[in-house]
Structure 1
């Protein structure tokens, strides 16, 4: 077996075993989170919990729509996106889930900070519901671009417009779905963490204190895993933009590294869920 075939085989096995494990754990964990946030009274009427419910729902959708399809394609060599309309719909829905996921996490961290500051009047359930509605509408309109500019070419689901391809590779993935949301989440998570630590010195109801500290911990641990697991993929993706090689062995090696960083990125959907129920300052 040549080096190229070995690298491709390793990539295939990683998708089958590691990829499928992430899908199963992520879906179970997402359902578990939804049950917790919707049944426990201490969380049910809080805005941060509402955002985390939306994030959990979208996580499940992202795992089934994006990662599972990738596992089928790369692991079992069954690419359902070879059909034109499947390619368009799958890419649009995966992009929509990804956008809602990052926006929901940003809103959750911002809201948790606001709820423990002098601007707490901006943190209420009605505003959160309106924010999610506007977010869904905005990203639904945005994802129409995927329906237009993605299609099946020679059996491969890809961007069919060169200008849009430049936009996707130079701005959408590294900036819009990378640097910008990660920076926002890190900033407001740290601010929320600081506020949660100082609540104990104020005259705050003990129930509210416990709830706010736990919600902040949940949001923070989720953001932490998203940042840690997303950065390798963003960095390698940005690096690969300037790498052009026609060597089959090098292409196979690059594809393996890309596959590993993608699966690490998706692993945050599963791991963070398992830690939610045990996280508290």
Structure 2
């Protein structure tokens, strides 16, 4: 929130540019943001999958729901995302625009730019985790509907239902806060929508608005 939202507020709300900041900040800001964003989306996927296993009727699947495995998976994915996003530290740099003369922090590699745009931001950071969370959320909801017919203690059944509701609420909230920005971001990558100045301005406004909504997900997921 601090790394991503504060510069967003300063730039869009107070027109304060951070282009004079040290190069380390330029590189580390986007690196840290992507690492934290991917970890957050991974955790919601793991939570949904864990709840699915917890509500399964087969004892074999329920064994996959344990705190030790959860800690190991979280540690592994945290390590993966820390290593995976190292190119952000390498390819981000300050570049002076030949049109406006402003200095901006951008990716200097076209290949990594394409991967960051479609591979990281759209697929790994938005579409894939939302699809996984919705898929296992649906399976979990179906399992909960069958809990009433199982010979389980009343407290256990109610606890499973409450935890499932909590997880599904987060999944639904993530969908409505993450997907609007993903949709607008995809439109911004299409030249047919950005050639017209009026349409481009509308999309830029929509991008700013949906990005602010996107930060609501991270605020809620932290709490």
Confirm or deny a common fold (TM above 0.5): yes
What is the match of residue 195 of structure 1? 143
Residue 2 (structure 2) aligns with: 64
The match for 1:75 is 13
CA separation of 1:79 and 1:207: change in aligned 2, threshold 3 A: farther
Q: Which residue does 1:132 correspond to in 2?
A: 74
RCO (CA 8 Å, sep 6+): is it higher in 1 or 2? Answer: 1
Alignment counterpart, residue 179 of structure 1, candidates 127, 140, 145: 127
SS at structure 2 position matched to 1:123: coil
Q: CA deviation at 1:153?
A: 1.6
After alignment, is 125-134 or 252-261 more displaced? 252-261
Structure 2 spans left out of the alignment, 5+ residues: 97-102
Residue 149 (str. 1) matches residue 91 (str. 2): yes
SS in 2 for 1:122: coil
What is aligned with 2:158?
210
TM-score, structure 1 as length reference: 0.70
8 Å contact from structure 1 (residues 82, 157) kept in 2? no
Q: Determine which structure has the larger helix proportion and give its number.
A: 1
Q: The residue matched to 1:208 in structure 2 has which SS?
A: helix
Change (3 A) 1:205 1:79: farther
> TM-score, structure 2 length as denominator?
0.87
Distance 2:39 2:201 in 1: 32
Paired with 1:116 and 1:168, the residues of 2 have a C-alpha distance of 36
CA distance in 2, matches of 1:81, 1:189: 42
Matches within 5 A, 1:50-129: 63-80=1-18, 82-83=20-21, 84-117=23-56, 118=58, 119-129=61-71
Instruction: Look up the match of 2:176.
Output: 228
Would you say the 8 A contact 2:41–2:129 is kept in 1?
Answer: yes
- 1:265 paired to 2:214: yes
State the distance in 1 between where 2:173 and 2:108 align: 34
Cα distance in 2 for residues equivalent to 1:272 and 1:164: 29
| Distance (Å, rounded) in 1 between the aligned partners of 2:35 and 2:162 | 29
Secondary structure at the counterpart of residue 191 of structure 2: coil
Question: CA–CA distance in 2 between the matches of 1:86 and 1:96?
Answer: 15
Q: How many residues align?
A: 212
Q: RMSD across aligned C-alpha pairs, in angstroms? A: 2.0
C-alpha separation between the residues in 1 aligned to 2:222 and 2:6? 18
- SS across alignment from 2:43: helix
Residue of structure 2 equivalent to 1:254: 203
Q: Retained in 1: the 8 A contact 2:184–2:203?
A: no
Segments of structure 1 that go 5 or more residues without pairing to the other structure are 1-62, 275-281
